[in-house]
């Protein structure tokens, strides 16, 4: 058959009038209005419906998955394929199978990410402590709910929590799970929302239950006595600092320091690391250790490898002969993720509002919420028993005359009139009459009726007891405490993370393990660095440099000294002299921009050995200004490798120097002038990036070219150029004062 020709739509060319019309339709909208109408709903959705856990300890994705498994009968039934669970969960959580399966993986026993796993898994579910051990596809693994999930769904069918429609209104799902223990504290949780985040560390189940019981008894109790410290599924050691923990418990913000557990195998001369801090991975530890070995900072290790198998985590470290394992591990603990800090931010959704709460506030919110759950459960039971009692009371009236009841039923012509006739004949209501009418013929005997009516007394007592519970908060709290005791007894386990007192640890001090000896440091204009011992300096010949390169500065130091290297990008790099190998005068040395990983195009302009950071640095700029900055401003508590804004970048740097005692400096300009002044005329600046104060009053296009100590200036007549007040214009250099050409910082 011949193909039909496509109909072509003719589009009129875009005329100038049309363009004007289109432009007229463009409406400008303030950015604040755009954010409010477009961005804020998205941000709130992520915060409320995705990333932040609620008081039951779950995010929506966790809750939807577990509830689906519960409705599938996986609490007491056999395991089923994970793919089946994922497919069923999509009825509540339509965000793709991959996201659902990843959620189940983290909740599983095999992944080892939780203190109390909620999914009893079979197959490969990866490991929380390894980034390379991936979980198998959902079609290969199987899962069911762990026994502890019975505490998550306890009495969920008794109206203990509110239900809401799922995304398409085809079924109901719980808004919260009625957990009978404070799961919000037991299960570690991490969530990143928009503009906020949540990171909750896990606590031991038994300790958490005991702390909750004691809190119910006495809200002012010392929680640290019962909830000793966080407990992590990966084990390891927690470095105990009571003040830091008290701050964390009070504010909900803080951190805990964790370190690995290890043992020394003397026969094989190796160290086995078998537990690592929660949040880090085996690969991260091995990569960092390998980097230290490669750079020569750790020389005691001959090999390091991952020997993790079905028996559990293991990192094997082969030692060189004569190595002290304790000192080596102190070094590795300080330089690798074998010691790590777990930061906490207890951000929780309370009634739809994110709040950062301390542990005491969390327990207060959980107890209040649990009281509501128990009261709703008791009220549900009360209604059921009251209804049953009401029906049995109607049956009791039949006991007075069974024959009469039979007669009424037999003599009633229409079926629809049976219930009204029974209501009239015995003075009972419609529900009671309907119940009597439905009794089987075989049960219309005195024995059956007497047995049922005997329940009236016990039901009356139970109803009275339930009413008393609903009116007594003390009794409800007692029920909650009893349930917590049962949970701790059934599912409680010993602590996995052991506690080490902070004052019992021997911290690694790098200087103690570094050989100390005097050295001379040389820096060339092109950025080549040499560290030469006195013996090599005496025996060596002339210093070797590249063509057109020469010495910029030489400094006496020791092998344990720190080193500050300043660059033309107003940055300073921190290093240790011991990080560099000893060299000879005949070698070119180490190229600092490459060794210190400087930015592209960045060049070295100065270096200094700060010692105890008690001196000052003096920066001279081409615009005639100078800034005196205390060395203490460059001392950092952490091992930071680079500091930005090391000095002002408003004007190019002409020269710099360091000093501990006041001295005289000589400044030179491009128009042949010189100025001598005392550093005491400059007051120290509090900020490193200070522009400084004017030292020389420059004329025309003149600029400062260099600044050196008076002794190195080559000037004979000092008094001609010396001033006692700044700024000053200086004096023209006389021929006898010009001396040798001054060393200047050249542009590269």
CA distance 625 to 697: 9
Of 223, 225, 209, 228, the residue nearest 481 (C-alpha): 209
C-beta of residue 203 within 8 angstroms of C-beta of residue 82: no
Contacts by residues 678-686 (CB-CB < 8 Å, ≥ 24 positions apart) = 679/616, 679/618, 679/628, 681/724, 681/725, 681/726, 682/618, 682/626, 682/627, 682/628, 682/726, 683/628, 684/616, 684/628, 684/629, 684/630, 685/627, 685/628, 685/629, 686/633
Of 206, 216, 231, 176, the residue nearest 53 (C-alpha): 176
- Residue 549 sits at the vertex; the CA angle it makes with 598 and 571, to the nearest 5 degrees, is 25
C-beta of residue 380 within 8 angstroms of C-beta of residue 469: no
How far, CA to CA in Å, does 101 sit from each of 110, 127, 131, 248?
14, 15, 17, 33
Residue 738, H or E segment: helix 735-738
C-beta of residue 266 within 8 angstroms of C-beta of residue 537: no
CA distance 76 to 70: 9
CA distance 328 to 305: 16
CA distance 120 to 99: 19
SS3 (DSSP) at 154: coil
Contacts by residues 552-556 (CB-CB < 8 Å, ≥ 24 positions apart) = 552/523, 552/524, 552/525, 552/606, 552/743, 553/522, 553/523, 553/606, 553/607, 554/520, 554/521, 554/522, 554/523, 555/520, 555/521, 555/607, 555/608, 555/609, 556/518, 556/520, 556/521
Provide the pairing of β-strand 551-558 with 731-732. unpaired
What are residue 286's DSSP bridge partners? none
Which residue numbers are catalytic?
A: 140
């Amino acid at each position: 058959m011949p193909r039909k020709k496509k109909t072509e739509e003719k589009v009129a060319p875009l005329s100038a009038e049309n363009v004007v019309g289109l432009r007229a339709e463009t409406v400008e909208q303030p950015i604040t209005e755009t954010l409010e109408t477009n961005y804020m709903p998205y941000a709130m959705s992520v915060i409320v419906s995705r990333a932040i856990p609620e008081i039951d300890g779950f995010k929506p994705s966790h809750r939807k998955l577990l509830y689906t498994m519960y409705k599938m009968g996986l609490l007491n039934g056999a395991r089923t394929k994970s793919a089946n669970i994922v497919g069923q969960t999509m009825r509540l959580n339509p965000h793709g199978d991959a996201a659902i399966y990843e959620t189940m993986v983290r909740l599983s026993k095999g992944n080892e990410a939780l203190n109390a796993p909620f999914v009893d898994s079979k197959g490969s579910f990866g490991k929380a402590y390894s980034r390379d051990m991936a979980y198998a596809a959902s079609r290969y693994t199987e899962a069911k709910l762990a026994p502890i999930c019975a505490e998550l769904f306890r009495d969920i069918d008794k109206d203990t929590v509110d239900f809401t429609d799922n995304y398409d209104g085809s079924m109901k799902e719980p808004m919260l799970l009625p957990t009978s223990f404070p799961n919000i504290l037991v299960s570690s949780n991490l969530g990143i929302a928009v503009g906020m985040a949540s990171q909750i560390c896990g606590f031991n189940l038994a300790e958490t239950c005991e702390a909750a019981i004691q809190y119910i008894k006495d809200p002012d109790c010392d929680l640290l006595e019962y909830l000793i410290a966080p407990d992590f599924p990966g084990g390891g050691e927690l470095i105990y600092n009571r003040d830091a923990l008290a701050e964390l418990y009070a504010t909900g913000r803080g951190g805990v320091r964790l370190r690995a557990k290890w043992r020394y195998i003397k026969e094989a001369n190796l160290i086995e690391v078998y537990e690592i801090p929660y949040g880090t991975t085996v690969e991260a530890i091995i990569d960092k250790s390998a980097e230290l070995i490669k750079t020569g900072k750790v020389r005691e290790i001959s090999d390091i490898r991952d020997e993790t198998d079905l028996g559990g985590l293991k990192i094997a470290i082969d030692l060189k002969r004569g190595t002290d394992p304790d000192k080596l591990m102190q070094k590795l603990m300080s330089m690798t993720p074998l010691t790590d800090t777990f930061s906490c931010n207890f951000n929780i959704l309370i009634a739809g509002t994110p709040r950062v709460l301390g542990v005491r506030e969390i327990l207060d919110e959980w107890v209040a919420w649990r009281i509501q759950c128990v009261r709703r459960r008791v009220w549900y039971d009360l209604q059921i028993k009251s209804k049953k009692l009401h029906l049995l009371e109607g049956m009791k009236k039949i006991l007075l005359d069974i024959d009469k009841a039979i007669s009424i039923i037999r003599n009633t012509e229409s079926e629809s009139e049976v219930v009204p006739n029974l209501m009239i004949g015995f003075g009972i209501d419609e529900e009671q009459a309907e119940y009597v009418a439905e009794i089987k013929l075989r049960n219309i005997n005195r024995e059956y009726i007497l047995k049922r009516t005997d329940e009236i007394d016990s039901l009356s007592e139970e109803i009275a007891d339930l009413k008393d519970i609903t009116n007594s908060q003390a009794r409800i709290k007692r029920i909650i405490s009893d349930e917590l005791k049962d949970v701790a007894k059934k599912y409680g386990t010993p602590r996995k993370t052991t506690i080490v007192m902070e004052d019992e640890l021997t911290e690694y001090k790098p200087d103690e393990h570094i050989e100390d000896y005097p050295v001379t440091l040389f820096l060339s204009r092109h950025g080549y660095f040499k560290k030469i011992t006195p013996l090599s300096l005496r025996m060596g010949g002339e210093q070797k440099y590249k063509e057109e390169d020469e010495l910029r500065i030489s400094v006496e130091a020791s092998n344990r000294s720190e080193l500050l290297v300043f660059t033309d990008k107003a940055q300073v790099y921190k290093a240790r002299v011991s990080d560099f190998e000893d060299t000879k005068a005949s070698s070119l040395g180490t190229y600092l921009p490459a060794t210190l990983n400087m930015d592209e195009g960045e060049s070295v302009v100065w270096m200094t050995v700060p010692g105890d950071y008690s001196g000052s640095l003096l920066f001279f700029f081409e615009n005639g200004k100078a800034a005196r900055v205390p060395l203490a401003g460059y001392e950092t508590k952490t091992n930071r490798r680079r500091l930005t804004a090391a000095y002002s970048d408003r004007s190019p740097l002409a020269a710099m120097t360091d000093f501990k005692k006041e001295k005289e400096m000589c400044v030179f300009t491009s128009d042949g002038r010189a100025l001598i002044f005392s550093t005491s005329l400059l007051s120290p600046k509090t900020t490193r990036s200070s522009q400084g104060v004017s030292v020389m009053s420059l004329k025309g296009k003149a600029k400062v070219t260099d600044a050196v100590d008076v002794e190195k200036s080559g000037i004979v007549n000092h008094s001609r150029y010396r001033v006692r007040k700044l700024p000053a214009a200086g004096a023209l250099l006389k021929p006898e004062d010009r001396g040798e050409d001054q060393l200047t910082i050249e542009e590269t």
